[in-house]
Amino acid sequence: MTLALAAGGVYEAFVPILELWYWLLTQLYHLTGLELINPEYTFMYRAILVGLCVGVIAPLIGTFLVHRQLALIGDALAHTAFAGVAVGLFLNGVFELGVSPYLTAVVVAVIAALLIELISEATDAYNDVSMAIVLSTGFALGTVLISLNAGGLAVGINQYLFGNLSTVSAENAVIMLGLFSVIVGTVALTRNQLLYVTFDETAAAVAGLPVAWYNRIMVMLTALVVVGAMQIMGVILVAAMLVVPVAGATQVSRSFSESLLVSIVLAELAVLLGIGISYYAGATAGGVIVLVAVGIYVLSVLAGKVRQTGAPDETRELDSISHD
C-alpha cells in the first residue's frame, strides 16, 4: 500500500512536465505545420520526449564506459532487461498484477548489473567473462518465460525486441523522466569520483575512494539507461546508443568534457533525424536511429582525420580531477 502510494506520488510529480511538453509541441505545430508533431498523434510527442532523454543519458554514461573499455556491457544488460520484461509479462499473465514490464525490467537489469560486478570480484574473472555469463543467463530466462506463453506472452514481444514509437505510453514516458532524473543527478554528484576511477582505478583506491562502490554505481546507471532506451531502440539495438555517439565524439574532441558534450549533441542529432525518417518512411525507429548514428560516426572519423592533417602536433587533454 505504501509502495503504491509512493509510486503514485512520483507519477503525479512528473505529469505536469509531460503536460508542458504536450503544450510546447502543440505550439510548435501551429507555428510550423510539421506533420510529425500533429496534436492528433500524441504518441509521437511521447516518443520524441523519450528519444531526447535517451540522447542525453546514453552518451552521458557511455562516455565513461567507452573510456573504461566496457562498451559491451550495454548489450549484456539489454538482454537481461529483456528477461525483466518477460518476468513482468509473466506476472501479469499469471497473477494479473498489472505491473509495467519496464519496471520489472529495471529491477532485473539492476540485479544483473550487480551480478556482473560480483562475479568479477568473487572469481577474478575478466569483465567480459562475467558479462557473457549474465547475458546468456538473462536471455535464456527471457526465452523460457516467453515460450511458456502464459497469458499470451508471445503477443507483442516484437515491440520490446525492436522498439516501437507508437507504444510509448504516458506511464512509460513518466518512467523515462524518472530514470533521466536519477541518472543525470547521480552523475552530477559523483562526476569527479567516476572520472578518477575511470582513468586510474589504482590511484583512486590509493587516494581512499571506494572503487568497488563507484564501479557498482556505474553498472547500475548503465542498467537504467538500457531500460529507458529500450522503449524506442529495442533490446537488440539499445547498446548502440551507449557506444556509437561516444565513438564519434572521441574522433573530434580533445578532452573528456568536450567528448561528453559532443557525444550528446551527436546522439540528439541521430535521435531526431532517426525518428523523423522512420515516421515518414514507415520504418523501425531503432534501426533508423542506429544507421543515422553510424553515418554521423563515419563523418566524425573523416572530420577527425582532416583535423589531424591540419594540426598534427595537437594533443588531447585530460580533464582536471578533484575529489574530497
Residue 308 C-alpha cell reads as 589531424
Would you give the distance in Å from CA 215 to the centre of its chain? 17
Residue type (1 letter), 60: L
What pLDDT digit, counting tens, does each position of 96-122 carry? Answer: 777 878 888 889 999 998 988 888 877
What would the grid cell of residue 6 be?
509512493
Higher pLDDT, 308 or 195: 195
pTM here is 0.87
Give one word for 200, left, alpha or beta, with left for phi > 0 and alpha for psi -120 to 50.
Answer: beta
Domains of the chain as residue ranges with CATH: 1-232 (1.10.3470.10)
CA proximity to 263, closest of 282, 280, 242:
242
In the block, cell 499470451 appears at: 152
Encoded amino acid at 55, one letter = G
Structure confidence at residue 186 as a pLDDT band (50, 70, 90): very high
Among 15, 8, 33, 54, which Cα is nearest to 165's?
Answer: 54
Closest CA to 248 of 183, 286, 278, 292: 292
Whether the per-residue pLDDT at 243 is higher than 50: the answer is yes
3-state secondary structure of 143: helix
User: 24-33, 162-171, 211-220, 262-271: which range is least confident on average?
Assistant: 162-171
Cell numbers given for 80: 537481461
Higher pLDDT, 2 or 171: 171
Q: d(Cα 265, Cα 71) in Å, to the nearest integer? A: 19
Digit-coded pLDDT (tens) for 193-229: 999 998 888 888 888 889 889 989 999 999 999 988 8
Q: What stretch of H or E contains 182?
A: helix 170-199
Cα separation, 84 vs 77, in Å, equals 10
